[in-house]
Amino acid sequence: MAAPDAQNEKESSALLKVLRPTSGSTMSVSVRVLLRVIAGVVVLALILALVGLFLVRRSFPTTDGEISLPGLDAPVTVHRDESGVPTIEAETAHDLFLAQGFVHAQDRFWEMDFRRHVTSGRLSELFGKSQLGTDTFIRTLGWRKVAEQEVKKLDKTSLGYYEAYADGVNAYLEDKSPTELSLEYAVLGLETGRTEVEKWTPVDSVAWLKAMAWDLRSNLEDEIDRSILSSELTDEQMSDLYPDYPYATRPTILGGRAGDKAPKDRSDDVDDEAHTDDRTREADEAQAGGTVTKAPRTGTTDTEAAAPTDGLLDLRNTLTSLPPMLGQNSDDIGSNSWVISGEHTNTGRPLLSNDPHLAPAMPSVWYQVGLRCKKVTDECPFDVTGFSFSGLPGVVIGHNQSIAWGLTNLGADVTDLVVEKIRDGKVIHDDGDEPLQVRKETIEVAGEDPREITIRSTRNGPLVSKLDGTYRKALDATTGADSQDPKSGPAEEHYGLALDWTALRPGTTASAVFAINRATNWQEFRHAASLFDVPSQNLVYADVAGNIGYQAPGMIPRRGTADGTVPRRGWESDEDWQGWVDFEDLPHLYNPERGWIVTANNPVAAPGETVQLGGDFDYGDRARRITKRIKDAVDEGRKLRPMDMAEIQDDDQNPFAAKLVPEAVKIHSYGDEDILEAKKLLKSWNGFDSANSAGAAYFNVLTKTLLEQTISSKLPDGVSPAGGSRWYLVLSELLEDPDSRWWSSKGVEGRDEALRTAMKTAWAETEDLLGPEPVTWRWGILHRLTIRNASLGESGITPVEKLFNRGPYEVSGGSGVVHATGWDASVGYETNWVPSMRQTVDLSNFDASNWINLTGASGHAFHPHYDDQTNDWAANVNRPWPYSKEAVAAAAEDTLTLEP
């Protein structure tokens, strides 16, 4: 092969020879041939564009006029507003959910089908052997099997809703080819051939709840990281990296303000006769203890197991490699929700705001919809609007005619890794050995022969990782176990890690969605919450009568002697979960005297004030900032309005700025021009992570640099600080200890020298990233958001990614910020998780409420509603949210009548 320069010269010479006219001719034959070729290419490109346009538009749904929908009892009306958001009105609940299934399939069926393949471990059928690892892991967890059990346990009414929904989906699929359903099928067909589309079932709907529970799985990664770190760090170092929550300076949910204790619950005065906890429980119903002890943060206790780091790193890598749609777990992922009573609003009625933070996906995980019975009765009790999941009937977050609600992740510890001791096909337990449970499953692979996999489980859950022979030594050193103990067996016995997770038990969340949708008061809402067992969420509440409330639901384990911070020993039964916290013992709050409730993944209460829920919560920066803004308004006598809620959602004050900037600007520059310029920029910065801010750009590069030079360089491979609230607290406490050994590294001693080095390094990196002139720097250039298609958006094929992805968008906000556009400091500055939607509900006039979605209503690439909400979302501009019949009719751009 010719060298690049020689090859380029050769090709250039050949081209010049073709283009050079021959003597005596106005145009050479070669030129005429070339022009014909060019003309042919242009024509071919136009033909391909027209074919592409045909394929793109072929799947666009009909949204105006009349369509026959078999199975309906009576006509159904679907109004769509300027955002393409549908409001469905029907005479019966059966027709309502039948139509919702039809409409979801119109807009989002590929997304639904892709999710179905994810949750059943069947991605290899679509994408080939590259997805075998993901399929094997999902099959090991057994989401589909659990969903099948849950469907069998559904009450008759709820099952009827799921069946009607599935009938609506299938009615849309009838007689349609895959390319008529979505462009993705056409692209996929080029690689793997035609895909057969199966009918939808209730199990397909319920299985998606497992994926959402996985996205909100709480502290599994923390448990892995703590185990890896404790193998190399001292107890003191572990305490530095896992500080206690600062209850004196940051709020809890029940206390409301920093240092406040949980108030007496005023809901005790409410007639709660209608509330019962009818969840099926497979463990005893003994109540949990009434106090909480702080979960140990230092090393491995003598009642918990130390797993070797190789097995844990393998598991962590597996978790990281799962599809982005299943969520990226991080210290910094969370959500905000708050509710304010009428005494503090300009209307005298409550306001409720919510913005869940999830990994960005195209289309958004949320689908906005209104579901209205023409006449609300016991048989047809729905008049609800809000955010749904495509593939699932009902509304997950929103309001009905009487109440509004929002969700944030509770952060309860509902996942445990369990070290299992296995010998001769039996799992060792102190209360009797049991055979290892083994099953085989077959995975179909596009273009190849099927693969058979073997799945192993114990009483504690599926085995998700093997542990190598070094485990015996690690266990003996940590727990003092006697390797010659007859019960323990020979040293060559092997070990594995099982996952004990509440979502792997059949639950009742599939019914809870409908119960919340039809609830009209606090008692009915709490009953609905009692069914909401997985994932555990903070539920905030408001009603038209002026009441506000909070409820922590969920299947929460009562722990034995192990605290869940690191893997427990499966052969010690006293470390097992000892049952479940009774719903009546879970924290709840009704009409607190202060007049507001804020949840932002911070602790529910201080230790000793409620039952033990876990030990890994957000460190409270967002909760503190939201609370401060509400309290400041109350103290000033200002009545809050919906626009004030939007301003709080848009708050991008960096919580670490107040700690780091004062120390950085005091650093002696010793004449270094970069340090002088850095100090000047930081002094002029207002502390907000605005997209157009040069100060924010440099500050965040500096924060990342500090984490790398101070913390990451001293940690084992595979564990790196991702940034956010916890790591801001770690660095803040270190800033108060100038002589901490964490500051010292090669050639650097003490805080000031470490800061000087980091400031110099960060300045050079910012120049490399953004250019030599600080006046041109912008945080948004570094902190861009690309919204990737959940299925094909990271295919590695640029034309395909350009078809389905959107962005990049320059966004404000950051990690640990109320406007939580989080980024992973161990990787870079790109936005990795976002407020996936925003809503503010005005209980005085629902038509005065507002909302916004990350992308749009449609899942069809190039459809007008594919990404039409994203620019407003990025600018924090919410859209009107019509609810009343009159408002919906006035806002209607399209009206579709579905005829029986």
Q: Across the chain, what does the average pLDDT equal?
A: 87
Question: Considering only CA atoms, which of 652, 306, 685 is closest in space to residue 472?
Answer: 306
Strands 850-853 and 879-880: antiparallel
Both tokens assigned to 855: 């992308």
Mean pLDDT of 684-692: 98
Backbone φ, ψ for residue 839 (5° rounding): -145, 150
Over residues 292-304, the pLDDT tens digits come to 333 333 344 445 5
Helix (H, G, I), strand (E, B) or coil at 594: coil
Distance of CA 491 to the CA centre of its chain: 42
Vertex 843 angle, CA 842 and 845, to 5°: 70
**Which residues are paired to 831 by β-bridges?**
823
Q: Cis omega before residue 738 (within 30°)?
A: no
Q: What is the pLDDT of residue 223?
A: 86
As a whole number of angstroms, the distance between CA 459 and CA 558 comes to: 17
Determine the distance from the C-alpha atom of residue 117 to the mean position of all C-alpha atoms in its chain, rounded to a whole number: 19
pLDDT of 274 strictly over 80: no
**What average pLDDT does this structure show over 315-320?**
76
> What tens digit of pLDDT does each residue of 59-111 get?
999 999 999 999 999 999 999 999 999 999 999 999 999 999 999 999 999 99
What is the rounded CA–CA span in Å between residue 484 and residue 675? 61
Is the model's pTM score more than 0.95? Answer: no
pLDDT at 5: 40
pLDDT number for residue 23: 36
DSSP 430: T
pLDDT (mean) for 589-610: 96
Q: Among the listed ranges 124-133, 473-482, 707-716, which one has the minimum average pLDDT value?
A: 473-482
| Amino acid identity at 278 | D
Of the listed ranges 251-260, 381-390, 619-628, 696-705, the least confidently predicted one is 251-260
Tokens of residue 662, six digits: 């004062």
The whole-angstrom separation of Cα 101 and Cα 199 is 12
SS3 (DSSP) at 87: strand
Structure tokens at 133: 């690892």
| Three-class secondary structure of residue 632 per DSSP | helix
Q: What does the alpha-carbon distance between residue 693 and residue 812 come to, in Å, rounded to a whole number?
A: 9
Residue 307 near residue 474, CB atoms below 8 Å: yes
CB atoms within 10 A of CB 769: 14
Q: Which residue has the higher pLDDT, 2 or 224?
A: 224
Asked if pLDDT for residue 850 goes beyond 60, the answer is yes
**pLDDT in the model for residue 188:** 87
Report the C-alpha gap between 836 and 334 in whole angstroms: 11
* 469-474: long-range pairs with CB below 8 Å, 24+: 469/494, 470/308, 470/310, 471/307, 471/308, 471/311, 471/419, 471/495, 474/231, 474/306, 474/307, 474/308
Alpha-helical segments (H) within 120-263: 123-127, 132-141, 143-153, 156-173, 178-181, 183-192, 202-215, 220-230, 235-241
